[in-house]
Amino acid sequence: MTVTRRSRDHLGTALVGAQFALMGALALWGTPSFLLGRAPLVAWAMAAVGAVLGLWTLTHNRPGNFNIRPTPREGGQLVHTGPYRWIRHPMYTAVIACAAACAWASVSPWAWLAMVALVAVLAVKSHFEERWMLQWHPGYDAYRRRTRRFLPFIV
């Protein structure tokens, strides 16, 4: 492993650690409202959107092809089907939708701060992932130009 690859792995691990810490905090703040039936309808809708998008994404990007860290996986293929037709990071979008559901369901203002921090972490993570994907996959630049990062037709 080269120093460059090692530093990428360390950065990726730090970003994933921050992502999961924030997701865990949001789940702790939001889950009680769901379990007690007190979550607002918008929270249920966001959770459903996130769950459906996450499952749809998994059906098109099978285990072994993706990496939880932003570094491309050796031998990984660029996926263009399913939600990847419109969104370059549909799993991040699914995570954001579920996190928004937890923030909506929570009574803690800290949940919204965690939500903003999570979006920032995922934006940074996707930035590095895209930079490295450009080096790894020859067709990534064209793919990037015809798709959106998180939301189809918007962002």
Residue 53 belongs to some domain of the structure: yes
Residue 4 belongs to some domain of the structure: no
Is residue 76 within 8 A of residue 131, CB to CB? The reply is no
Residue 155 belongs to some domain of the structure: no
Residue 2 belongs to some domain of the structure: no
Residues 43-56 have pLDDT tens digits of 999 999 999 999 99
Residue 48 belongs to some domain of the structure: yes
pLDDT of residue 152: 81
The number of domains in the chain is: 1
Residues 7-43 have pLDDT tens digits of 778 899 999 999 999 999 999 999 999 999 999 999 9
Residues 42-92 have pLDDT tens digits of 999 999 999 999 999 999 987 778 888 888 888 888 999 999 999 999 999
Residue 113 belongs to some domain of the structure: yes
Range of the domain at 106: 26-68+80-146
Which residue shows structure tokens 């379990």? 35
pTM (2 d.p.): 0.91
Is residue 26 within 8 A of residue 118, CB to CB? The reply is yes
**pLDDT category of residue 2 using cuts at 50, 70 and 90:** low
Residue 80's SS3 state is: coil
